[in-house]
Structure 1
């Protein structure tokens, strides 16, 4: 009885760890795409960042979380992953974009008690150097944002990047910083190629003809050489099954591509509002740059919903 309870607890911990890992991986893909778009603009302006925020509906980044109790964990992982783009910048544009992303996510977190952004001494120095660089370029948006976050106590100054403890949930998830930024594009391009191949009837027909020809030659050769046995090929069926699964897992994305931007945004908002997590709405006013739209503020209201 005790052994069964221990195994069930271990299975639950492993499942939660895997679920947390998958969420972090999906969020990382979103960050890669977001910062690559921002980098193309070659801009340090928060207004340009806000346009991409709106176009990608990044306001609803937390809406896909099915378990309200794990929202706090997810927010912590989001901050941790975004800081990597600051610590390992590809360019100065992606670095400042990551800082803006950290700012936006902090003020959009759907929790009653907001999670603070953990900063080690190394991380603080990196952000401080970035802000000083922007200040020297007379790009003052980040200077204002950094001051705002410090004044509003958004940072938690710590010794380690993630919390430590003897429990499994701390030990299993703790990893030192390593540079895995902008590594999802290869995976995404491979999926796009697979999608293109399976959608092309000409390529599938050519592959089927080649496979049939190979099977016939193999049958003839095995008739002459008894030691060689022919085997049935399932490559076409495997491809079709894999593509069917691919379509089942990404129906919403294809639906959004077929519709205009207004309809696509409405779809995303409806899915977010259909979420049953009560902590998402009405519990706390979410502050963004809109709340700071005063005459003396360099940040305008571009990041509204």
Structure 2
């Protein structure tokens, strides 16, 4: 069954890539793309004895897009993808979505973020899956079994789906820079008053860079501009 894992992942990435281009998180937008691609047909090729194993593979592949480090929009698309696949699978009773306990905090934070942003269709789909008992809560992400050791092939993340780092911009804001500038000014005045009492300034008092605030701001701006150039280059290559 592993022979078709790459193809399933590729199909999921194609659907989510089209969804990403819409810059939307609406379920109706996702549903339109789902129908255009006839994505429910993904289960039609599985023979009877492979239906459950294939459903497991498909759900596991889609589940990875529901978790960090992917962007919020891709995670929304991953949730919608799980919902569509769970409802359309041909296995009976339906195969559940395996959800490791270590991922539960990320899932609940995702639900809260969607609710705070008033993405009610996203919250509805998640709670609908919960009401259907679609999730199978497990200790580990994958099933553990005693078997011969083998090299596990890890699939590469789609870089276009990964959320861009934004913590530097969030942490180093205007208010923080102003506060740092005030503290730095007070420190310099205190250092000057202490130094004037002695014959010469003690080098141990030079605990900060003179241009700390401008350098910090310049570094964050440089990082942001680099991010923007990288995004624009990626769009140009499409």
Q: What is the TM-score of this pair, normalised by structure 2?
A: 0.61
Q: Does structure 2 conserve the Cα–Cα contact (< 8 Å) formed by 1:32 and 1:181?
A: no
In structure 2, stretches of 5+ residues that fail to align are 160-238
Q: Secondary structure at the match of 2:98?
A: strand
Instruction: Name the CA distance, whole Å, in 2 between partners of 1:172 and 1:131.
Output: 37
Give the unaligned 5+ runs of structure 1: 1-19, 184-305
Q: Which has the higher contact order (CA 8 A, sep 6+)?
A: 1
Equivalent of 1:133, from 104, 113, 134? 113
Structure-2 residue corresponding to 1:164:
144
Q: Contact (CA 8 Å) 2:20, 2:73: kept in 1 or not?
A: yes
Give me the whole-angstrom Cα distance separating, in 2, the residues matched to 1:147 and 1:87: 17
Comparing 144-153 with 99-108, greater Cα deviation is found at 144-153
Q: How does 1:1-305 map to 2 (within 5 A)?
A: 20-65=1-46, 67-167=47-147, 180-182=156-158
Deviation at 1:172, TM superposition (A): 5.9
Give the whole-Å Cα distance in 1 for the aligned partners of 2:48 and 2:96: 18
Aligned with 1:114: secondary structure?
A: coil
> Does the 8 Å contact 2:5/2:57 carry over to 1?
yes
**Structure 1 residue aligned with 2:170:** none
In 1, Cα distance between equivalents of 2:150 and 2:85:
25
The alpha carbon displacement at 1:149 in A equals 1.4
Cα distance in 2 for partners of 1:64, 1:90 equals 29
User: 1:89, CA displacement in angstroms?
Assistant: 4.1
After TM superposition, the score normalised by the length of structure 1 is: 0.49
Aligned residues: 160
Q: Distance in 1 between matches of 2:115 and 2:22?
A: 20
Give yes or no for contact 1:85–1:181 (8 Å, CA) kept in 2.
no
Shift in Å, 1:122 = 2.4
Offset from partner CA, 1:265-286 (integer Å, 9 cap, x none): xxxxxxxxxxxxxxxxxxxxxx
Q: Aligned-pair RMSD on alpha carbons?
A: 2.3
Change in Cα spacing, 1:179 to 1:85, as seen in structure 2 (3 Å) is farther
Q: What is the deviation of 1:70? A: 1.5
Contact 2:55 2:89 in 1 (8 A): yes
C-alpha separation in 2, matches of 1:161 and 1:101: 18
1:118-172: CA deviations, max 9, x gaps? Answer: 111222222222121111111111211111111221111100112122256xx76
Q: Distance in 2 between matches of 1:140 and 1:172?
A: 44
- The 8 Å contact of residues 101 and 140 in structure 2, kept in 1 or not, is answered as no
Q: Distance in 1 between matches of 2:69 and 2:90?
A: 28
